[in-house]
A = this chain, B = another copy of it.
Amino acid sequence: MRAVVVRRGEREPTVVEQPRPEPAPDEALVRMLRVGVDGTDREVVRGAHGGFPSGADEMVLGHEAVGVVADANGTDLTEGAVVVPTVRTPAAGGDRSWFERDEADMAPWGSGDFHERGIAGADGYMAEYVACPAPSLVRLPPEQAGDGFLVEPLSIAVKALEHAEAARSAFDWQPESAMVLGNGSLGLLALGLLDADSRFDRLYCLGRRDRPDPTLDVVDGLGATYVDSRETPVETVADVHEPMDLVFEATGYARHAVETVHALAAGGVGALLGVPEDWQFEVEGGHLHRELVLNNKALVGSVNSNRRHLAAASSRLASLPGWLVDRVVTGVYPPDQLDAAFTDDDTTIKTAVELNEYEER
């Protein structure tokens, strides 16, 4: 079977032939349909994030997958069911309690308790067939066999928004305004989720693009206000537009984590999702601290997602407008067009690699 890998020392993905895996006990064999490509994959390819499986010189890429159960292998999965796998699976010798209570998304980074498939420590999902632990698979409706690779990135936003909301649950939070920092696929999907939440009357999306631009078309289509960070830096947004009840940071630009505090309204919350490199810089630390305290503001970091978030994301995907999904997915390519699938330019938003076609039973 074909698999898309990155090899040690190389900086681009390659298609290789591998034997079809044999599922171990408690694993099911999944026939992969489509696997999305995101910024993390590109970082993995260029060696800036993640790491190879122990002792291996190549790793199968891909963590945003949708597939079909090809062989339930004695597990309680249904053959033919459309599924999305969690990104984290247990690492040998690690603490399994995170998985047992379905909170592997909360496990300490670097703990050795989990792999992130296709990112760090274990092969990913960009192969024709993948053996997956049965508990890592969440069932999707068959209608999501095509767009189901969006469930994992959506689940990242679902979890972050859930944690942000929880952080405001000790009082009667009545949010109306929200700003997404970043107009990449994750930012646009988050904007779609916020648009579907009737509490948010006014949405903003911050980027640094010139029109015409396909991401700004999505921002416009959702009725959100585009904020060009080259003209309106994050720390001026509260004055230029309005203080935000919620900020969703999806840029990985470390200054934004700090500036988010100043963009928030009293009682507001910033959900941070970016993963920046090391960067030392000056901050107005006194002002930052004071703003957090005197205006009851909160910052909540969020990474990964669990089965519950994947299930919720599937529901949310079903209610997103079709035009949004169509606009966000700018290309689905076969494995022999990896260049196109991994391209990141101003015309691409979200791409996927199609390993197999879905055949309805």
Contacts and interface: CB of A to CB of B under 8 A. Distances in A.
Interface stretch (A15-23, A75-83, A161-169): A161-169
- How big is chain A's contact interface, by range? 35 or more
A276 B254 contact: no
A121 B288 CA distance: 24
Contacts of A265: 108
Given A266-B107, A296-B105, A281 B282 contact: yes
Residue among A163, A258, A274, A290 with the most chain B CB within 10 A? A290
A63 interface: no
Interface in A265-297: 265-267, 272-297
Interface stretch (A40-48, A213-221, A298-306, A313-321): A298-306
Contact of A167 (B108, B167, B283): B167
Given A167-B300, A172-B103, A298-B298, A286 B277 contact: yes
A107 to B, nearest CB: 7
B274 A285 contact: no
A230 interface: no
Interface string A100-127: 0101011111010000000000000000
A288 B254 contact: yes
B295 A285 contact: no
A284 B254 CA distance: 9
A323 interface: no
Contacts of A162: 170
A252 B293 CA distance: 10
Interface of A: 101, 103, 105-109, 111, 159, 162-163, 165-172, 252, 254-258, 265-267, 272-303
